[in-house]
Amino acid sequence: MTTTFSSLPVVDVGPLGDPKGASEGQLTALSQRLYDVFTTTGFAYLTNVPLSFNHEQVFSMSREFFALPQEEKMKLAKRSFRRSHQNTYRGYFPTQPELASDNLKEGFEMGPAVPIRTQSTTSSTSKFNLAEQNVWPEDNLLPARPKLETLYVELQILASKLLSLLAVSLGKPADYFGSYLEDSLSTLRLLHYPAVESVASGSGSAGSDNVKLSCTPHTDSGILTLLHQDSTGGLEVRNSSGEWVAAPYIPESLVVNIGDLMTKVSGGRFVATMHRVRAPPMSASASAVTGQQNGESQALGRISVPFFFEPGENCLVRSVDGDEGFVLYGEHVRAKMKTWVEFQDDEDN
């Protein structure tokens, strides 16, 4: 159950990056701490994360992508946006102001760089190929590509370390989630929320319900999300009293949260907490996509970079209590996609 928290807890995961390896005592303490936060808030900040890129580097990789001319981004559009394209799951999605003005975001999604070889058992009737290869801009239009690929690998390693700790916290061996790593489909998503004209800077309190949103209230559908957010702010998390609690920027931290499927896996112990993102005001200057112009920072919105840890398509996902049957991850994600705005078009999934 979510609790009536009024701020998100901070978890120092420094020991995970210790080159000498974390001690047994440190791992036990971290495992217990993660259990505590995921059974109460379902959300936390992670500090001292073992990644080679700092925030400025991550956000500049992302800005590099969004600063590409729209026609270059549209060359990478998923098939729901460009019928002639082959890519269905990876690639670019543009903003959809008509379909979803309260979900105003453009994004670029990448999966593993190494091709997935295992044949899917869930794809025969679906038009989505979850195991498809990444798409990238031509030539040297995106020099950040190798860094993004490295970031992906490092986030996958961090997620797998966190999963080991969670397994132990649930009374299972540290390698209990090993099968989730096989042909894992994890997604690194670059998101840009354009600034919205009608939003005054600093308007409305975090608790207010009457606010303009750029990402509607939702729970994440999968296992675990690791989020880089820039200093614009706007992420809010709902507590058990229904209040929206601000999750402001903490320099160099990642936000971590539990997805719906992990709630099932944990036998209902871990909570997938509802969250939303407020529309960035025009005066937000943290994440100018095109950078400095005439010496002034351009107010172009918010950048965030969620990494969704996803098992392989054929992974059997079941409760640690062994009492609820199982779901194939591929089936789970295909069912969820029908509800996501960036996969909507006029055909069935």
Ligand X SMILES: O=C(O)CCC(=O)C(=O)O
- Residue 215: name its binding partner from Fe ion, ligand X, none (Cβ under 5 to 8 Å by kind): ligand X
Of all residues in this chain, which one has the CB nearest to ligand X in the complex? 304
User: Which residues of this protein are in contact with ligand X, per CB under 6 A?
Assistant: 191, 215, 220, 227, 229, 235, 275, 277, 304, 306
What are the φ and ψ backbone dihedral angles of 79, each rounded to 5 degrees? -60, -30
Give me 62's structure tokens: 């992302």
Give me 285's structure tokens: 């200057």
Question: What is the CA 323 to chain-centroid distance, rounded?
Answer: 29
Q: Output 109 or 220, the one with its CB closest to Fe ion.
A: 220
Least distance to ligand X from the beta carbon of 115, Å?
25
> Which one of residues 109, 220, 236, 313 is an interface residue with Fe ion (CB under 5 A)?
220
- Residue 112: name its binding partner from ligand X, Fe ion, none (Cβ under 5 to 8 Å by kind): none
Alpha-carbon gap, residue 180 to 261, rounded angstroms? 12
Alpha-carbon gap, residue 305 to 60, rounded angstroms? 11
- Residue 235: name its binding partner from Fe ion, ligand X, none (Cβ under 5 to 8 Å by kind): ligand X
CA distances from 79 to 90, 92, 99 (A): 10, 10, 17
Q: Output 199 or 227, the one with its CB closest to ligand X.
A: 227
Burial 117-126 (b: 16+ CB within 10 A, else e): eeebebbeeb
Least distance to Fe ion from the beta carbon of 275, Å?
6
Bridge partners, 245 (sequence order): 237
- Residue 165: name its binding partner from Fe ion, ligand X, none (Cβ under 5 to 8 Å by kind): none
Least distance to Fe ion from the beta carbon of 259, Å?
8
Least distance to Fe ion from the beta carbon of 215, Å?
7
SS3 state at 222: coil
Query: Given the rule CB under 5 A, which residues bind Fe ion?
Result: 220
